[in-house]
Amino acid sequence: MGWRTSPLTIALVVINIVLYGIDFLTGGALADRFELYPPAVQAGEWWRLLTYGFMHGSWPHVLINMYALLQAGIFVEYCYGTPRYSLIYLAGLIGGGVAAYLSTAGTSVPTVGASGAILGVFGAMGVLGLKLPRLRSALVRSAFFPIVLTLGYGLIVPGISNWGHLGGVIAGGLMALLLNPVRGSELVLRTQSSPDDEETSEPER
């Protein structure tokens, strides 16, 4: 598990950082065109329900989101494989966008950020705990705390789309539930190896 088994996660991190840099240098021109702006969506610019997830409001915003994506995405992409992982990420992105839009429809409040899609990936990590019983405790714990902390932060800090977060985690989790991990059995076999097996195995050279 590493960079080579997580090409989409790495690509998403690079794309998000590059797009924020371009947006910063152009004075927010990209965000104006691609953020989730309810009046624009109502006027037929439906693609904003996707592109909002590649826009960010500040350097801390994009860097924190990308750090979280690396933490969860590398593992989830490894377990599910890139094609299935892409469906999970897309589900979280769309679910978060739709929920954010429905919660702001009729207003002029824009929504930006990849956190809905990223929480969908954390939701998938929690689902992996159901599919891989021997890893359940560690996976559920690793998914539960970031999700709760993010939602709790959204409750006390204004200007954060908690509906977008909820939509993302639910959609991503449901998609993960419908899919089977492609490397789950390998991880389970690793956890089933006994200490004696480890002691008698030859060292790596």
Q: Which residues are catalytic?
A: 115, 165
Would you say 162 and 155 are in contact if contact means Cβ atoms under 8 Å apart? yes
Burial class (CB in 10 A: 0-12, 13-18, 19+), 57: middle
Give the CA distances from residue 202 to residues 136, 187, 196, in Å, rounded to whole numbers and listed in that order.
Answer: 29, 20, 12
Using only the alpha carbons of the chain, give its radius of gyration: 18
In whole angstroms, give the CA distance from residue 115 to residue 19. Answer: 16
